[in-house]
A and B are shown apart, each in its own frame.
Chain A
Amino acid sequence: MPWIDACATDAVDQEDLIRWDHAGKTYAIYHSPDGDFFCTAGKCTHEDVHLCDGLVMDYLIECPKHNGQFDYRTGEARRAPVCVKLRTFPVKVEGGRVFVEVA
């Protein structure tokens, strides 16, 4: 599966996320408090809401619509109303760029 050049590392503030659209699909790229990068599906599994407007708190992303929470490292649902795990994608950083291995 291909590694796709998604964004520059400085495009995402620490403890924040951005939306990344690729090949007609939408993703979320996170910059954790300890400097690591992660990628998940871009929309909440509860309803059709982009996570990019949500709040990153440590390793949790909170959905902006209903305040459901996921651990963005694993995709695990951590707070109702989300029940279904968020899909995650491998990420690597090279030369100041964030690469995502999309399925």
Chain B
Amino acid sequence: MARNYSMLGPDGARAVETGLAAAEWYHTDVPRKDMKALMQRSDAPAIRDTILLYGTMILTAGIGIWLWPSLWSLPFWAVYGVLYGSASDSRWHECSHGTAFKTPWMNTVVYEIASFMIMRNSATWRWSHARHHTDTYIVGRDPEIAVMRPPELAKAILNFFGIIDVIKFFPNMLYNAAFGPNAEERTFVPQSEWGKVQRVAILYTLIYAATLALAVWLQSILPLMVIGLPRMYGAWHHVMTGLLQHGGLADNVIDHRLNSRTVLMNPISRFIYWNMNYHVEHHMFPMVPYHALPRLHETIRHDLPAPNRSIAEGYAEMWPAFRRQLAYEDYFLKRELPPTAKPYREEFHAISPGTPPAAAPVNALPAE
């Protein structure tokens, strides 16, 4: 039976009925003292990285404008674009968790700027990402599944240039500005936040309208090179790294070692991606800030599949899996665990598509 990824469809309803939704997930045992140390917040690393990020963006955009329309401006736009259209994805992500900075308002400011740049309504996506962590790659529950099965590889490739995301974003922004969240968004955004979704969409609409008006007035695309277009010409890095997060791995399981991937990367990609290459670790312990993920990786690596050693190695593993899923959508990669690891937790694996659950929910004890 084909998967139905709609938040309003039968697979999501079945996940709720069977206890697959909002289940208790596997966690590697980490002593409380060690985990407390890993979870500690600090402003310093994120302030340093944010100054470097925004400083480089201002510098490269400034030089790009100064050299415009010469071809010599292109390398500067290339750098600016990746920082705008890709680094904003990881800043949006970390600040939505509230873990990047210790000081809450700093998380909020960077989150709002990053949400605008990555073209995600900041009010809507805070909630979609909460659901992504509750029901990671549970079909019909997770609204952030990047590659659905069978994989639409052409769409994935187009998104390296932001094409699909941008085509979806603008009509939805206008709908949100006029009417608030759409029907699917209302399944995961609390009603108390619907007004905020609309206000954010109106603000975004005004900024894009002003940018477009300036471009028309100047008879130049230069304003759009600074605002809007970098979400397309600089998207490739966040799509390249983002596909690796869960691509080709299991869905409908409650063990992040089965559905998430850790990939060791070069320092520049790790700066752009803010260490989200440690993705199993992040999903298992989302309270650990990005700057502590390498330490968390060392702490729990005995219980995880071996990480891919490079982006290229990750793609060499993932891309053939996508191709096999074209013919047989239930196929997924199951990486070998080291002898020191606890076995995979996969009792829900038989649920989808269309089969009964193999186990009851395990988070049985009620609150107070």
- Please report A residues at the B interface, Cβ cutoff 8 Å: 16, 21, 24-27, 41-43, 46-48, 53-55, 57, 62, 64-67, 69, 79-81, 83, 87, 89, 102-103
For the complex, what is the distance from the CA of A62 to the CA of B193, rounded to whole Å? 21
A26 near B41: Cβ-Cβ < 8 Å? no
- 5 A-B pairs with CB atoms under 8 Å apart are A24-B365, A53-B35, A62-B287, A65-B286, A67-B287
Further 9 A-B residue pairs, CB within 8 A, beyond A24-B365, A80-B126: A25-B365, A25-B366, A47-B22, A64-B285, A64-B286, A81-B130, A83-B190, A83-B192, A102-B368
Residues of A within 8 A of B334 (CB): none
- Taking a contact as CB atoms under 8 Å apart, the answer to whether B368 and A89 are in contact is yes
Also in contact, A27 and B368, with CB within 8 A (given A55-B287, A67-B287, A81-B126): yes
Nearest CB of chain B from residue A80's CB, rounded to whole Å: 6
Among residues of B, the one whose C-beta sits closest to the C-beta of A48 is B363
CB within 8 Å for A41 and B134 given contacts A47-B22, A79-B98, A83-B190: no
Residues from chain B with Cβ under 8 Å of A24 in the complex: 365-366
Q: Give B contacts to A, CB under 8 Å.
A: 22, 24, 27, 32, 35-36, 39, 41, 97-99, 104, 126-127, 130, 133-134, 190, 192-193, 285-287, 363, 365-368
Residues of B within 8 A of A16 (CB): 32, 36
A102 proximity list for chain B (CB < 8 A)? 368
Measured in the bound complex, the distance between the Cα atoms of B99 and A57 in whole Å is 12
Q: Shortest beta-carbon distance, A4 to chain B, in Å?
A: 12
Task: Point out the residues of chain A lying under 8 angstroms from B98, CB to CB.
Answer: 62, 67, 69, 79
Distance of A18 from chain B, by nearest CB (Å): 9
* Nearest chain B residue, comparing its CB with the CB of A78: B104
Given contacts A16-B36, A47-B22, A65-B133, contact A26 B365 (CB under 8 A): yes
Supposing A26-B366, A80-B126, A102-B368 touch, asked if A66 and B99 sit within 8 A by C-beta, the answer is no
Interface centre among B39, B134, B190, B368 (most CB of A within 10 A): B368
In the complex, which of the residues B41, B133, B365 contacts A66, with contact meaning CB atoms closer than 8 Å?
Answer: B133
Residues A67 and B367 in contact, CB atoms below 8 Å apart: no
A41 touches B368 (CB 8 A): yes
Which 8 residue pairs across A and B have the least CB separation, nearest first? A43-B367, A41-B368, A41-B367, A81-B130, A55-B39, A25-B368, A66-B130, A67-B98
Cβ distance A40 to chain B, nearest Cβ, rounded Å: 8
Contact B286 A42, beta carbon cutoff 8 Å:
no
Cβ distance A77 to chain B, nearest Cβ, rounded Å: 11
Which residues of chain A have C-beta atoms less than 8 A from B27's C-beta?
A: 53
Q: Is B368's CB under 8 angstroms from A87's CB?
A: yes
Q: Name A42's closest neighbour in chain B (CB-CB).
A: B367
* Nearest CB in chain B to that of A46: its residue: B130
CB-CB under 8 A from A46, the residues of chain B are 130
Q: Could you tell me the distance between the alpha carbons of A80 and B127 in the complex, rounded to whole angstroms?
A: 9
Contact indicator A67/B97 (Cβ below 8 Å):
yes
B127 near A81: Cβ-Cβ < 8 Å: yes
Q: Which residue of A lies closest to B35 (CB)?
A: A53
Complex Cα distance, B24 from A51, in Å, reads: 13
Instruction: Determine how close the nearest CB of chain A comes to the CB of B259; give it in whole angstroms.
Output: 16
Chain A residues with Cβ below 8 Å from B99 are 67
Q: How far is the CB of B363 from chain A (nearest CB, A)?
A: 5
